[in-house]
Amino acid sequence: MTAASKTPRGRYKKTDALIEDVEFLIEAGCTWHEIPTRLNRTPQAAERALARAGRPDLVHLARTMNERRANARAS
């Protein structure tokens, strides 16, 4: 195996792990400001990686976490 053949598989595994981590943190109630910090990434890098993986919905969910918390408290 060459180094080039290892890279795509590694990227997919890293992307899958990122998606899983973000989903877990959203379920745990973390906001978008907290998530990249916990994953040791910049917000732009995390957003870009999720968009490239086809999951920009996770960014939206995390960014609207405060609004959903407020709505849950009000009801």
Instruction: Note the pLDDT tens digit of each residue in 28-67.
Output: 999 999 999 999 999 999 999 999 999 999 999 999 987 8
Mean pLDDT (whole number) for 16-26: 95
What does the pLDDT read at residue 9? 58
What does the pLDDT read at residue 51? 96
Residue 7 has pLDDT above 60, yes or no: no
Computed on alpha carbons and rounded to an integer, the radius of gyration of the chain in Å comes to: 15
Mean pLDDT (whole number) for 4-13: 58
How far apart (Å, rounded) are the C-alpha atoms in residues 31 and 37? 10
Q: Which of 69, 57, 63 is nearest to 19 (CA)?
A: 57
Residue entry with tokens 């973390």: 30
